[in-house]
Amino acid sequence: MRELAAEFRISIEDMILPYFVVGGKNKKEKIPSMPGIYRLSIDYLLKDLDSVQKLGIPGILLFGIPPEQKLKTENMKPLSEVNPAVYSKNGIVQRALYAIKKRFPELVLITDVCLCGYTAHGHCGIVKIKNHTIDNDSTIEILAKVALSHAESGADIVAPSAMMDGEVLAIRKTLDKNGFDNVAIMGYSAKYASSFYGPFREAAGSSPRFGDRKSYQMDYRNLNETIREVDQDIKEGADIVMVKPALAYLDVIRAVKESSNVPLAAYSVSGEYSMVKAASEKGWLEEKKAVLEILTSIKRAGADIIITYWAKDVAKWLK
């Protein structure tokens, strides 16, 4: 009876699993703050995807970690410089896409379109030398190039996460002009400046070396601004919009759901994962129960798609 009357259920068909991909071969590097999640080289990633497909997970979100990154940060190149690997067809994300698409044509491939892993300073865009502010317009030009290179390599959905004004429109135009009108855009429309990205930044080595992301990510004290950002992204051509983080932003998910009519994704971010992992390792929380409760609450709030590092576990738990 309880089963029959339950209003909301999560299902694996709605889940997306993020991956961190690194250069080289035979690499499976632990991420200390995210137990169970690894930085994988392409060969390992392909192996892992066998199980992902068997588990019925419909799609993945790819983050690339360029091999040159460490070197670059040590040498602090000019502020305006971006590692060209970000839009090269030999870049790590592009090579991964190509290999995955060939082997798993049905898997939905989503890519993060951002510069933070590819700038010496770790900000999501080009920084103006004069006053250390972000150069919005030159950044969106590069983001469009990045998105195009992802589409050419096999991405089904590109997800701009830099939070630059006009990024969705710039990407849409470039994709259409080059014959990729069937590649969809998932806007990180409501991306808050959040402390819950901490473990991700450790995983991706993408922390800003100075300042913070508050000038381009949203203030968690605001909600109306978010609705405006979402409307704007939809006007610019976003096919899917996203709220991120998820757990501390359930009201935002609900508000966006009510104010828009495109599919809504919620990103349960690294800090949400690490928090529950740490507590479960100490025996303070029961991981499975806590995770199913959290993810169901994200669904109840209104998310159509849930991006979660727990996707594989959930698939097993729901079986």
Q: Using CB under 6 A, pick the residue from 136, 149, 270, 308 that binds ligand PBG.
A: 270
Q: What is the 3-state secondary structure (H, E, C) of the chain?
A: CHHHHCCCCCCHHHEEEEEEEECCCCCEEECCCCCCCEEEEHHHHHHHHHHHHHHCCCEEEEEEECCCHHHHHHHCCCCCCECHHHHCCCCHHHHHHHHHHHHCCCCEEEEEECCHHHECCCCCCCECCCCCCECHHHHHHHHHHHHHHHHHHCCCEEEECCCCCCHHHHHHHHHHHCCCCCCEEEEEEEEECCHHHHHHHHHHCCCCCCCCCCCCCECCCCCHHHHHHHHHHHHHCCCEEEEECCHHHHHHHHHHHHHCCCCEEEEECHHHHHHHHHHHHCCCCCHHHHHHHHHHHHHHHCCCEEEECCHHHHHHHHC
Q: Does residue 70 carry a catalytic annotation?
A: no
Contacts (CB under 6 A) with ligand PBG, residues 164-193:
none
Contacts (CB under 6 A) with ligand PBG, residues 106-165:
112, 114, 116, 124, 161
Nearer to ligand PBG, 5 or 277 (CB): 277
Nearer to ligand PBG, 64 or 154 (CB): 64
Rounded to a whole number of angstroms, the minimum distance from the CB of residue 2 to ligand PBG is 33
Nearer to ligand PBG, 43 or 275 (CB): 275
Segment near ligand PBG (CB under 6 A), from 38-46, 74-82, 200-208, 223-231?
200-208
Rounded to a whole number of angstroms, the minimum distance from the CB of residue 206 to ligand PBG is 6
Q: Using CB under 6 A, pick the residue from 72, 201, 257, 300 that binds ligand PBG.
A: 201
Rounded to a whole number of angstroms, the minimum distance from the CB of residue 158 to ligand PBG is 13
C-alpha 272 chain-centroid distance? 14
Contacts (CB under 6 A) with ligand PBG, residues 206-235:
206, 213
Rounded to a whole number of angstroms, the minimum distance from the CB of residue 163 to ligand PBG is 8
Task: Report the residue closest to ligand PBG, judged by CB.
Answer: 200
**Amino acid in the structure at residue 144:** A
Q: Active site residue: 145, 244, 277, 312, which one?
A: 244
Q: Using CB under 6 A, pick the residue from 44, 197, 216, 310 that binds ligand PBG.
A: 197
C-alpha 185 chain-centroid distance? 12
Rounded to a whole number of angstroms, the minimum distance from the CB of residue 106 to ligand PBG is 25
Q: Using CB under 6 A, pick the residue from 171, 253, 269, 315 that binds ligand PBG.
A: 269
Q: Does residue 244 carry a catalytic annotation?
A: yes
Catalytic residues: 191, 244
Interface positions with ligand PBG (CB under 6 A): 112, 114, 116, 124, 161, 197, 200-201, 206, 213, 269-270
